[in-house]
Structure 1
Amino acid sequence: MNTNDLIAELLPKVKRHLRITWEYQDDEVKDMVEEGMAYFESIAGPCDFEQGLALTLLKDYCRYYWNGSVSFFEENYRHMLLNLQITNAKKRVER
């Protein structure tokens, strides 16, 4: 699945998490999702954003972004980010 298709698939999940029911800010939410995906892949390698820990972290990253607090995300989610890094490293080794 290409990035744009994945973002389109994730959009309703993220909007539901943020309690956004309107559509006029969809482009802004898509940008947040894309930024979050790039952030997680830069620290943990390729991630499966369709389910599991990566999706949970992405939704929470977008919540922090939406509320203007993204600078606090890494500090508050450090243990989960480390878990994502370890999980993704294990998957790469097992292949």
Structure 2
Amino acid sequence: MDYRVDDKLLTQVKSELQITFTERDDSLRKAIQRGMAFISSRVGPVKFVGDTETEIVANDLLMNYCRYYWDGYRQMFPIDYQSDILHLQILNGSSRRSFNEAKAD
């Protein structure tokens, strides 16, 4: 899966974390990519930008992952957000199943 971080997503994360400087943008992009990979490895392929419920929940989870990463508590994220990860697994599975059923018709 491609974990490309566009400028809009980077800006969103920086705003969420209240980061105003640009010196660590490369490091922050890597953190975002790691978050995308971590979340996708638990819930399956998912988009992190968009207006569907699944995309909004995935984006919120990514923002929280980045917060934990930035603050140096990445190892606690799976524990603290276990129920949110499970919720996203269910949402993502349901939306992918609906998509596949619609595609088969």
Unpaired runs of at least 5, structure 2: 51-55, 100-105
User: Runs of 4 or more off by more than 4 Å in structure 1?
Assistant: none
TM-score, normalised to structure 1's length?
0.91
CA contact (8 A) 2:46 2:58 kept: yes
What percent identity do the matched residue pairs reach? Answer: 37
**Aligned-pair CA distance for 1:60:** 0.5
Q: Which residue of 2 aligns with 1:92?
A: 96
Which one-letter code corresponds to 2:62 in the other structure?
L
| Alpha-carbon distance change, 3 to 75 in structure 1, aligned in 2, over 3 angstroms | closer
CA contact (8 A) 1:36 1:58 kept: yes
**Aligned-pair CA distance for 1:47:** 1.2
Measured on the aligned residues, the alpha-carbon RMSD in Å equals 1.3
Cα displacement string for residues 15-34 of structure 1 (whole angstroms, at most 9, x for unaligned residues): 01111000010000000000
1: distance between equivalents of 2:83 and 2:15? 25
Cα displacement string for residues 13-67 of structure 1 (whole angstroms, at most 9, x for unaligned residues): 0001111000010000000000000011111011120141010000100000001
CA contact (8 A) 1:37 1:58 kept: yes
Counterparts of 1:60-71 in structure 2 under 5 Å? Answer: 60-71=64-75
Q: Which residue of 2 aligns with 1:38?
A: 37
Which one-letter code corresponds to 1:46 in the other structure?
P
Aligned residues: 93
Q: Which residue of 2 aligns with 1:56?
A: 60
CA contact (8 A) 1:36 1:61 kept: yes
